[in-house]
Chains A and B, each alone.
Chain A
Amino acid sequence: MTFRIAFFPVLFALLFIACTNSDDFLYDESDSTPISIAASLSLEHDTTTKQGKTASIYPYDTVAFMAEITPSRSIRMRESYWTLDGETWAYEFSFRSCIPKPGRHTVAFILVDNFGDTLSDTLQLWVGNPPVLDENLIIPLPNTQRIPPEKGISFAWNAYDPDFIYKLHYHFTLLATDKETILDTILDDAHLVYRLPLNPLESYSWQVTAYNEIGMQSAKTINGSFYTEGVDNEAGIIGSIKTSGFGSKKTSKMMDISVTVIDSNGEAIAIDTISGASNSMISFQKKPLPPGDYRVVAKALNFSDFQPDTAVIQLRPAEVYNIPTLYLNDVFPPTIVSIPAQDTLSLADTLYFIVKDNGDSLDLDDINISFDGKAITDGVTLKNDTLAVPLADASKSTIFRILTITGVDLSSNTGKKAFYITPTEEWFECNSDTMLYKNEILELFIKDTNPYGFEPDSFFYDIYTNDQPSAFHADSSYHSFKVTFSAFPLSSNIVRSGIRYKNGITKWKQWTVLRIFVERRANE
């Protein structure tokens, strides 16, 4: 009986176990998710900027440290923390901090997962201050003269690492007068002996920048210069000329410049011509010269607007005199003249002006035109210094108006001229200048157009050969009569047409009849 009672539950249990899928309880590698971590740092406050594994920083620079956990930070883990040089430092996944102590530091992010496995990722930081370079205690000092060109030259400077940790190295460059690089090298020592020969009476410059082992650059750079000695006490001149305006993108013109060295007796002992100078700064050099007192004159040859400049110098034996910059300045503004050479002009469809600058011809961009306060640009042309200003659209006026023309040359000299445009008030219309052929009859006319409503009283025609003008009573606002060729005795006859109103106001206009002593042909 007892056996029966026990048999069935055991059998049932065995069947239950047999029906159960025990594989579900076995470890399957494909079902597992690997965990990985990655630590990174960023020097910017914004963590979206470039991240990396290494960095060189100043003490107290704020650094953002970030840890990424795959698949996510929410996985089951025992602990995670950061270490600095092996010492526990922080527990956040991401945090900001600084490392004030100079030197090399290792920062590690460590994660211990739920199974006790330890994962870690490390970052390297080099902390330091940039090297300090003394720009004053240098050999040779700036502008040193009389360095023997054949005996080599020694350079020395002082620099140190403020942290006393890192070795320093130096970027040294030696340049010739024309900025050609003679030597460009990296040095471990704060001195250099350059033993190759240099040119006599030349200017050289040298530069030194200090770096520490972690790539930090000194805040200051040494900028030295020296001049080499002349042979047999011969001296030399170097200098530069600055021209106003030239070198800008606005002009493609080139200037020819003469540099004349005049001795104490007034004799020009050297004349150099620099052709086609297109830069605003031109260098020149003159050697060898005997020691003594000189004047050096720079002059623009092809631009009369530019004033010459002079330097008075004293050349010491075997030395190079570096002349302060000579300036060729254009001090004259552009000139603006109307074609009739008058400042008061009658309104016309187009007015013409001569706009001229001896320094350089102007472009339309350099010219501003204003009529009655409004800028005029449409239809304006400039050809061979002749400026055409169309005023066809300008309405007529009964008062004087001002046309202003402004021209700016390359040296920013401004020439400005105002012209008065006479009122265009029309009291009446009459004949204008005309030619009269031998076989022609000319009809003289006057048509009253006064804008004030005055009533005409008389019309006048005065051919200057007469003492008295012909007068006609005004029945209407229009009057005309015809004359033949013989009415005009001269080849050029000035005629005055006039009108007198009943209120006594009289207005005149003058015009010219050119008498042509031939008959007009049909096709003329």
Chain B
Amino acid sequence: MDLIPQHGRTRFSKLKAAVLIFAALSFYGCLELPDEPGAPPEIDNISVYVKQKGVSDSSVLKISPMDSATLKVSVHPRQYRDELSFEWYNNTKLLGKGKSYTIKALSSKDKIPTQLKIYDPLGSERSISFKIILNTPPRMLSITSPAAGDTLYGHFETAFLFKWNAYDDDISYGDELRYTLVIDKNRFELGPLTDIRQSGLEPGEHSTYVVVTDSYGDRDSIAPQKFFIIDTLGSLP
């Protein structure tokens, strides 16, 4: 004889299961604590980098104003990138929205972003300020002395003039040019000098070139050009 009726046993099991489910749900609910209201997503880093002519620059954000360039956003971890929205500002003026912004060639300064605002789906906001450096690379124009193929007359101790020209659009904005003169295999760091007189050249064929470097590390040079020295010994008047 059963002391407990069958249907009563079934009812007890259901109650027991309901209690267990309730307890499990409560426990799970306790584990899934909601984010603090207003806290940003767990994003390690958001940074801006620039890409011009296929070359990315995330350090000094330097571009040439003569060519178009694209500003891009780098987000880490990457999976948040698509959940965020971006706005590009020049000071308070909104220039555009999106994960990238294209700076057109010869853009005026007010068309170049200085700030990026990032929004998450909950409307939280973060901003990054940055400065895009517009730098025109220097151009090495020519070595005027000795000209390519020149013949110079002298000897080992004769001072020969080395003179060159370079140009940089940013000179008027405070950019400075520095030169490295290479005579044969000897490199001379000359700072801003654009002409020197040097001896120590044996009669025969020599080559020289100059490398110009601006304040932002952009550089240019021209191909080595040859010149010749003939000793004047014995050709006294």
Contact = CB atoms under 8 A, between A and B. Distances in A.
Given A137-B187, A158-B188, A190-B189, A146 B158 contact: yes
A140 to B, nearest CB: 6
Which 3 pairs show the lowest CB-CB distances between chains A and B?
Answer: A144-B199, A141-B200, A191-B191
A147 B159 contact: yes
A316 B236 contact: yes
29 contacts: A137-B188, A144-B157, A144-B159, A144-B197, A144-B198, A144-B199, A145-B154, A145-B199, A147-B197, A153-B197, A154-B193, A154-B195, A154-B196, A156-B188, A156-B190, A156-B191, A156-B196, A189-B191, A190-B189, A191-B193, A193-B193, A226-B159, A291-B236, A292-B236, A292-B237, A314-B236, A316-B236, A317-B237, A319-B157
Nearest to A153: B197
Interface residues of B, number: 23
B159 A146 contact: yes
Interface string A253-293: 00000000000000000000000000000000000000111
A139 interface: yes
Query: Is the interface on chain A under 10, 10 to 19, 20 to 34, or 35 or more residues?
Result: 20 to 34
Among A140, A148, A153, A190, find the residue whose CB has the most chain B CB atoms closer than 10 A.
Answer: A140
Contacts of A226: 159
A181 interface: no
A55 to B, nearest CB: 32
A143 interface: yes
Nearest to A145: B157
B74 interface: no
Interface string B196-237: 111110000000000000000000000000000000110011
B25 to A, nearest CB: 53
Interface in B69-109: none
A316 B157 CA distance: 11
Given A140-B198, A147-B197, A156 B189 contact: yes
Contacts of B233: 314, 316
A370 B190 CA distance: 70
A485 to B, nearest CB: 90
Interface of B: 154-155, 157-159, 186-193, 195-200, 232-233, 236-237
Interface string A165-188: 000000000000000000000000
A140 B193 contact: no
Interface in A304-329: 314, 316-317, 319
Contact residues of A: prevailing secondary structure: strand
A139 B236 contact: no
Contact of A291 (B155, B192, B198, B237): B237
B192 to A, nearest CB: 8
A148 B186 CA distance: 24
A156 B186 CA distance: 13
B59 to A, nearest CB: 18
Interface of A: 137, 139-141, 143-148, 153-154, 156, 158, 189-191, 193, 226, 233, 291-293, 314, 316-317, 319
B199 to A, nearest CB: 4
A143 B199 CA distance: 8
A154 to B, nearest CB: 5
Contact of A140 (B187, B191, B199): B199
Nearest to B190: A156
Given A158-B188, A319-B157, 8 more contacts: A143-B199, A144-B158, A147-B159, A147-B197, A190-B191, A191-B193, A226-B159, A316-B236
Contacts of B198: 139-141, 144
B182 to A, nearest CB: 11
Contacts of A233: 237
A195 to B, nearest CB: 12
A233 B236 CA distance: 11
A143 B191 CA distance: 23
Contacts of A291: 236-237
Contacts of A141: 198-200
A137 B198 CA distance: 11
Contacts of A154: 190, 193, 195-197
A226 B158 CA distance: 10
A492 B198 CA distance: 89
A461 to B, nearest CB: 89
A463 B155 CA distance: 90
Contacts of A319: 157-158
Among B157, B186, B187, find the residue whose CB has the most chain A CB atoms closer than 10 A.
Answer: B157
Contacts of B186: 137
Contacts of B190: 139, 154, 156, 191
B197 A140 contact: yes
A140 B197 CA distance: 6
Contacts of B193: 154, 156, 191, 193
A158 B191 CA distance: 10
Contact of B159 (A140, A156, A193): A140
B158 A145 contact: yes
Contacts of B192: 191
Contacts of A314: 233, 236
Contacts of B197: 139-140, 144, 147-148, 153-154
B196 A139 contact: yes
Contacts of A153: 197
Nearest to A160: B189
B199 A158 contact: no
Contacts of A144: 157-159, 197-200
Among A137, A139, A316, find the residue whose CB has the most chain B CB atoms closer than 10 A.
Answer: A139
Contacts of A156: 188-191, 193, 196
Contacts of B236: 291-293, 314, 316-317
A106 B187 CA distance: 39
A8 B154 CA distance: 125
Nearest to B232: A316
A189 B176 CA distance: 14
A319 B153 CA distance: 13
A190 B188 CA distance: 11
A317 B237 CA distance: 9
A293 B157 CA distance: 19
A158 B157 CA distance: 21
A402 B237 CA distance: 67
A517 B159 CA distance: 93
